[in-house]
Structure 1
């Protein structure tokens, strides 16, 4: 009888860069607040409940380390992207423990590889392991909930001569692993996401990618709801000020963001894919050409819908 491969066995994933690998993130965490948006230590819990009351999330930090940040989440995105690549290559027993080098990981998530970055990486791993999350997500009934951390553990191999980390392993928690390896559980992200410097801007991109997608009509969200979705602990006035700066810059990858109002007059943001706008523009120009000369009979390429 053949022996079944251990799904938790370590696998070498030496990935210098992810430019040739589709960047992936978990759908269900993109639209909800699971991470701190600030680099300073956050100890105040995140407590979120969806507008319909069906989904709730509570994130708590260990005082010694603080809450995992949205920059720490880059490590989880790297893991999701690496596992997705293996899945696409036909690997059946995807590992829960991944092995790489600190240098390769830092380069993959577009970080500097100086000495300070290695210390920051270790601090990020500590926060990802010690941050505690409770949620009703994936619960078949409201009476069930899950509690987990992002990582179950990690190791760093230290060079005895330089004192710098070399090889490393990280073990995803079961909840995270199942979320990454599930069917249609991931969304493609733009490679420039790692270059976004603002925590709020990063959160807005993740929310936009989940809700706006490439819908030609875009997506409107009340600012009050958006504040709740980001998990920002800033008071409304400060949140509005930070949001205004993001809107004025309008530099999110893939998406344009602007202020608008809902039908009842509530302040809101409007987010739309630049690709969707381009498709509409091309379609309009072709329609005009066809009207001017029906014999041409040009048509716009069919839209492929949301990316997955």
Structure 2
């Protein structure tokens, strides 16, 4: 789908830029289901209607490419950040078409740089260009807007066929949403180190709602959260996966707390970490509210679903686990090899006779990482 340009004279148009870019996310897309949460190809549409039935979102896929994913969203976050940087620098005419250096983008998004990385980038752009969105999110029932995330993109290649630059034309809906007053929120660069689609989605929900909510944070019922996710699969599976994420409690900047209620579905509370308990205290994970007299307590089967265990791995690497995300978020830069940090942490646990599945193991590991020295 991209257009290719090979004239060497055009290469200079794509100057290296913005490698230390403050990251911004488009606010309206952060709490409603616009993206597939899985890397697997999804053809099933997303249909969302808000509880008050005033807001609708319908997202449909091209059969060849599938729905745009939450990993493809990284490109839009990068583009939004570039637009805001132009605005910060006082540009009079901020372009809807951006000249992008793929190498800079991949580095900013904490992705590998190489031949396959450029192929994956092209695949992501194809999904963003071919996914169709219909929503009335800005106008209620008055106007439903239909768009794709990007209108078009083109690749600039040198004589050897290597991609040197890209031109990405953003959808006007997205472009306007980024530049409108209050249209973006700053996000933690550690977001890109989250490997799970649901973790990434939940971080964005927490950033949107709990970022300025004070010490009480923001709480939402699990069924409502399920509807907002657009996730495939049934509610039971979603609840299990959310509970596991709460137990891991590894979202950058936000602590998670599951409030269990007798004969009612649980609520998920999100609180900014620097507004929670005293420094060094364990982050909240699961809170059991007192049962109402005369009401039945949850069954053993329900507890098995609600409380999946989490333990630090006794051997092996942690790169693709929740503990890898904790290490990336807490180790000082330049970071030591995570495998060596994991081995040191295991020795630390053995010396102090701390169980690998201690209740606050994630907080212990986060504190351990924060006290490590930077790599030489």
Do they fold alike, i.e. is TM over 0.5? Answer: yes
| Preserved contact between residue 132 and residue 146 of structure 2 (Cα < 8 Å) | yes
Distance 1:237 1:250, change over 3 A: same
Asked if the contact 1:14–1:99 (Cα under 8 Å) also holds between the matched residues in 2, the reply is no
Which residue of structure 1 aligns with residue 16 of structure 2? 14
Instruction: Compute the TM-score of the two structures, normalised by the length of structure 2.
Output: 0.68
User: Which residue number corresponds to residue 80 of structure 1?
Assistant: 80
Distance 1:13 1:272, change over 3 A: farther
Rounded Cα–Cα distance in structure 2 between residues aligned with 1:260 and 1:94: 45
The DSSP-based 3-state class of the residue aligned with 1:224 is helix
TM-score by length of 1: 0.82
* Matching of residues 1-308 of structure 1 within 5 Å: 14-15=16-17, 17-18=19-20, 21-139=21-139, 141-161=140-160, 163-214=161-212, 215-261=214-260, 265-277=264-276, 281=278
Report the CA distance between 1:265 and its aligned residue.
3.5
Q: Does structure 1 retain, via aligned residues, the 8 Å contact 2:135–2:146?
A: yes
> What is the CA distance between 1:88 and its match in structure 2?
0.9
Indicate the SS of the match to 1:166.
strand
Q: Deviations over 1:38-80 (max 9, x none)?
A: 0010000011111111111000000010000001001100011
How many Å apart are 1:116 and its aligned residue?
A: 1.3
Q: Which moved more, 1:151-160 or 1:62-71?
A: 151-160
Displacement of 1:22 in angstroms is 2.0
Runs of 4+ in 1 over 2 A off after TM superposition: 11-18, 261-266
1:13–1:98: 8 Å Cα contact kept in structure 2?
no
Deviation, 1:32, is 0.7
What is the count of residue pairs matched by the alignment? 266
Gap regions ≥5 residues in structure 1: 1-10, 283-308
Shift of 1:167: 1.0
Structure 1 residue 16: Cα displacement? 5.5
Q: CA deviation at 1:153?
A: 0.4
CA contact (8 A) 2:99 2:168 kept: yes
Asked if the contact 1:16–1:107 (Cα under 8 Å) also holds between the matched residues in 2, the reply is no
Contact 1:12/1:98 (8 A) holds in 2:
no
Is the contact made by 2:155 and 2:166 (CA closer than 8 Å) also made in structure 1?
yes
**Distance in 1 of aligned mates of 2:261 and 2:228:** 17
Structure 2: gaps (5+ residues): 1-12, 280-376
Question: What SS does the aligned partner of 2:219 have?
Answer: strand
> 1:257 and 1:16, CA in 2 relative to 1: closer, same or farther beyond 3 A?
same
1:159-195 deviation digits (Å, cap 9, x = unpaired): 332x331111100011011001111111110111111
Summarize deviations over 1:257-305 as a string: whole Å, max 9, x none. Answer: 1210469833121111002226xx48xxxxxxxxxxxxxxxxxxxxxxx
Find the residue that maps to 1:154 and give its secondary structure.
Answer: strand
Provide the rounded CA distance (Å) in 2 between the counterparts of 1:80 and 1:262. Answer: 40
Aligned-partner Cα distance in 2 for 1:160–1:248: 52
- State how far apart, in whole Å, the 1-side matches of 2:158 and 2:241 are: 42
Instruction: Assess if the C-alpha contact under 8 Å between 1:56 and 1:137 holds in 2.
Output: yes
